[in-house]
Amino acid sequence: MTSQTNEQLMLGNALQTILSEQQNMMPVISEYQFEREVLGLLENPFTIESVQQYSIYVGELTKPLNVVSNSDRNEILFTVPALVQSPITTIPTGSGITADTFMRSLARDMELGGRGTNDKIAMFMIHLTRRPDYLEVVLRPIQAILARYNRTMVDLPGVEADAPTTAPKAASQTSFSDDYED
């Protein structure tokens, strides 16, 4: 008899089932159809026409597109990244502001008249999330996919070939750095 942890006993294969279902819900296209119908769209993916046509295949631009083998739909050849990336929620570190201290500080601000609460909420959200590097997560993978088929992406305005791959970090600000008028 094998020893199972409490998590394994309680969850069983629920996590695997969730991951499998998510994989089943991802848009899929055969390589043949991809070459015929989608590859040209990725050469200039940000025109209105390309976005509208590409949306037909993914449903919404926040979903990646799996390209599968012509002979075996279970064999994923590559994945076209989602054109629209969602922010990634992070967990505050020991030195960062927690949701609890933020809410207490926000409640105190509201008691004092609520000046600057919108800015404070926006800064908290910035500290709590990070945005993926679009160049690394979307553009370079699309360029690699196009190169696989001896194609290239059109030059995009504002994107240099040697552009930095990380955005500068915003200055650290806590909710306790505001000037209060009591």
Tell me: do 78 and 101 sit in the same domain: no
Tell me: do 30 and 76 sit in the same domain: yes
Total number of domains constituting the chain: 2
Q: For residue 9, tell me if it sits in a domain.
A: no
Tell me: do 52 and 126 sit in the same domain: no
Q: For residue 143, tell me if it sits in a domain.
A: yes
pTM of this prediction? 0.59
- E-assigned strands of 31-92? 65-68, 76-80, 88-89
Tell me: do 30 and 81 sit in the same domain: yes
Q: Which of 48-52, 107-111, 152-156 has the highest mean pLDDT?
A: 48-52
Tell me: do 66 and 80 sit in the same domain: yes
Tell me: do 34 and 106 sit in the same domain: no
Are residues 80 and 142 in contact, defined by beta-carbon separation less than 8 angstroms? yes
Q: For residue 80, tell me if it sits in a domain.
A: yes
Q: For residue 163, tell me if it sits in a domain.
A: no
Domain of residue 59: give its range: 23-85+133-155
- Measured at the alpha carbon of residue 65, what is the angle toward residues 62 and 69, in degrees to the nearest 5? 170
Tell me: do 32 and 75 sit in the same domain: yes
Give the pLDDT confidence of 31-84 residue by residue, as tens digits: 999 999 999 999 999 899 999 999 999 999 999 999 999 999 889 999 999 998
Structure confidence at residue 93 as a pLDDT band (50, 70, 90): low
Tell me: do 71 and 127 sit in the same domain: no
Q: Cα torsion at 108, 113, 116, 120 (round to 10°)?
A: 20
